[in-house]
A and B are shown apart, each in its own frame.
Chain A
Amino acid sequence: GAGVSQTPSNKVTEKGKYVELRCDPISGHTALYWYRQSLGQGPEFLIYFQGTGAADDSGLPNDRFFAVRPEGSVSTLKIQRTERGDSAVYLCASSLGFGETQYFGPGTRLLVL
């Protein structure tokens, strides 16, 4: 079956611009996670959704970052006033439920010039 999909696969933007990154989880998966992976590092947790609500957003680095999941399926990660330090691969993962195996999407490579 289809895995987690993320769009766009690559995004180049200029410093100060707004970007939206989209994640389509595996059908039926209620839990959705966002992670960020910088070059040479492991992924770092950003936010977790159970259904429509953000159950844990402790990993969001600052208030420029926001994520939504209005219908409990697709999620959008939004970054305002992008900075060069935001350049990274943004990974989305979904799982059948709490504590189940997380399956990752291919990621969105964000480059802020």
Chain B
Amino acid sequence: RKEVEQDPGPFNVPEGATVAFNCTYSNSASQSFFWYRQDCRKEPKLLMSVYSSGNEDGRFTAQLNRASQYISLLIRDSKLSDSATYLCVVSIGGFQKLVFGTGTRLLVSP
């Protein structure tokens, strides 16, 4: 079983739609949680950190459920520029190495 599991998609949505991604993680010792965005043939970039209290950054809302070991990302009012792969990431261990899911591909169409 992978340490971080995500639905690979692709999720095809029209502009303006709301879309939600979920992921689960298996290591209960995971310490920090993130969503990274990766464009085709580019490096991953931090989208947002995820906290148990939930956090919002503009159209993006992230939520963490430690009891269920579940992380979510909600994107409202999708834009064409949101098309990318969204990587669910946890950090493990004293040195905070990042463990990535396989990513969920989002395609926003006009």
Contacts and interface: CB of A to CB of B under 8 A. Distances in A.
Interface of A: 33, 35, 40-45, 48, 50, 55-56, 59, 91, 93, 98-99, 101-107
B43 A42 contact: no
B4 to A, nearest CB: 7
Interface stretch (B59-67, B74-82, B92-100): B92-100
A102 B95 CA distance: 12
Nearest to A3: B43
Contacts of B87: 42-43
Interface of B: 4, 8, 32, 42-46, 87, 89, 91, 93, 95-103
Contact of B43 (A41, A56, A104): A104
Given A42-B87, A101-B46, A106-B42, A59 B101 contact: no
Contacts of B103: 42
B44 A43 contact: yes
Nearest to B100: A42
Given A104-B43, A105-B43, A45 B96 contact: no
Contacts, number: 49
Task: Classify the secondary structure of B's interface with A.
Answer: strand
Given A41-B102, A43-B100, A48 B95 contact: yes
Contacts of B44: 43, 91, 104
A103 B98 CA distance: 12
Given A42-B103, A107-B43, A59 B97 contact: yes
B82 to A, nearest CB: 19
A61 B73 CA distance: 32
Nearest to B87: A42
A98 B95 contact: yes
A33 B42 CA distance: 17
Given A91-B43, A101-B46, A42 B101 contact: yes
